[in-house]
């Protein structure tokens, strides 16, 4: 059966949903990982009744949509112990620690080499190194994307980096983009997806149909990139 697109006003949000009539007894509501909302409706039910049912579930729908754009906490802390490895820009590296009065972090082939007086010092050293690399790499990837985006839409006021337990990125109400330094662990294409995602929030603050239409316009393969990103959580 054909699906019809409808909208529900919920506070400052507009929840866009697809409505499909089915041979069933009750209204079914589903929120997909993309944030889209599907409503299965018994034949003969009025739109007024559908909207009443959606209003009852609106808070849950919004929470589900936000949930899909968060990530679960994962162990990305560096531990200098036998066999330990980390991901750097999506590639896995073994860590080799050597006790030394010199402090240094280098990487070659598939290994990181850490020089420090103690393992605790080495862990802090490589953690700080990764944070600084995150700022440099994310800024480098964001620059051409922002330049292209602002030519048609808006420009962020500035970019900021902040540890977040359950989010890869964020866009504030005053158009500041915030990125999680842990993004340094995932592939470049995934970092670019997060950049596109947060830029689209400059135009559309919520995960509604207009937001996804814009995201698809500026990053047509965003769903594939997001699936890859989700592998790291």
Q: How many CA atoms lie within 13 A of 61 on its CB side?
A: 27
Give pLDDT tens digits for 65-100. Answer: 776 666 554 445 677 776 688 889 999 898 888 999
What is the average per-residue pLDDT within 108-137? 92
Interhelix angle for 188-200 vs 119-150, to 10°? 50
What is the average per-residue pLDDT within 219-228? 91
Residue 2 has pLDDT above 60, yes or no: no
End-to-end CA distance of the chain: 36
Length of the chain equals 233
Q: List the beta bridge partners of residue 9.
A: 14
Candidates 17, 50, 69; CA nearest to 180 is 69
pLDDT-derived band of residue 231, with 50, 70 and 90 as boundaries? confident
Candidates 229, 148, 146; CA nearest to 185 is 229
pTM (two decimals): 0.74
């Amino acid at each position: 059966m054909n699906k019809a697109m409808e909208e529900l006003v919920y506070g400052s949000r507009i929840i866009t949903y697809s409505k499909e009539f089915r041979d069933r007894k009750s209204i079914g509501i589903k929120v997909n990982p993309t944030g889209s909302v599907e409503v299965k409706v018994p034949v003969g039910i009025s739109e007024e009744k559908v909207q009443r049912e959606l209003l009852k579930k609106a808070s849950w729908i919004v929470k589900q949509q936000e949930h899909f754009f968060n990530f679960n906490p994962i162990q990305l802390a560096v531990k200098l112990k036998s066999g330990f490895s980390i991901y750097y820009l999506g590639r896995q590296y073994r860590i080799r620690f050597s006790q030394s009065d010199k402090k240094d972090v280098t990487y070659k082939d598939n290994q990181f080499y850490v020089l420090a007086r103690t393992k605790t010092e080495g862990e802090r050293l490589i953690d700080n190194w990764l944070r600084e690399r995150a700022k440099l790499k994310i800024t480098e990837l964001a620059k051409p994307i922002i330049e292209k985006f602002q030519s048609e839409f808006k420009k962020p006021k500035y970019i900021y980096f902040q540890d977040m337990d359950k989010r890869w990125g964020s866009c504030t109400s005053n158009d500041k983009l915030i990125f999680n330094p842990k993004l340094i662990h995932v592939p470049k294409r995934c970092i670019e997806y997060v950049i596109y995602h947060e830029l689209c929030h400059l135009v559309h603050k919520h995960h509604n149909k207009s937001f996804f239409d814009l995201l698809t316009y500026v990053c047509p393969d965003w769903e594939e990139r997001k699936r890859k990103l989700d592998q790291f959580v």
